[in-house]
Amino acid sequence: MATYHELKDLALLRLREAEALFAADFFDGCAYLAGYAVELALKARICKLLDLADYPSAGKLAKVYAVHDLDQLLLLAGLRKAVDPSNKPLFDNWSTAALWKPERRYDAPGKATRQDAEDILNAIRDTPNGVLTWIMTHW
């Protein structure tokens, strides 16, 4: 699996790729890659929290850490309590981002609209309460 630093770099790269797909009107791909930006960022945070050079996704730890579920990763990252309704902008952005699932790769073409893609991009890159922006403060 990727190292802590690679996960951080990959999260930012996936965001740039999602933005490029949005600009080219590829909204399905944009929404899909934007979710991976959040997943990778959370996995980088888990590495930091556990003081690990590499993300624990093999061997005995795979059962716990080899996941794609953003809510589960948020818990493993030690950040779940911070995403609550008292911080409405972050909570709302998380609610949008957390709808992502890796199984979206099987969605029929055209399922994500321009508005869907724009919503997830804004939810993760908003300053200061975008999900990715916020996770980056915990790297």
What CATH number is given to the structural domain containing 33?
1.20.120.330
* pLDDT score at 101: 86
Record the pTM: 0.93
Handedness of CA 102, 103, 106, 111 (dihedral sign): negative
Q: Going by C-beta distance under 8 Å and a sequence separation of 6 or more, which residues neighbour residue 58?
A: 1, 66
Burial class of residue 139, CB neighbours in 10 A (0-12, 13-18, 19+) = middle
Q: Which of 78, 74, 83, 1 is nearest to 42 (CA)?
A: 74
Number of domains in the chain: 1
Q: Which domain holds residue 95?
A: 4-136
For 101-132, write each residue's pLDDT tens digit. 888 888 888 899 999 999 999 999 999 999 99
DSSP letter, residue 82? G
Q: How far apart are CA 137 and CA 31, in angstroms?
A: 23
For the residues 75-90, what does the mean pLDDT come to? 94
For the residues 37-57, what does the mean pLDDT come to? 91
Q: How far apart are CA 114 and CA 104, in angstroms?
A: 16
Q: What are phi and psi for residue 6, nearest 5 degrees?
A: -65, -40
The answer to whether the beta carbons of residues 131 and 45 sit under 8 Å apart is no
- pLDDT at residue 61 is higher than 80: no
For the residues 2-21, what does the mean pLDDT come to? 96
The answer to whether the beta carbons of residues 114 and 27 sit under 8 Å apart is yes
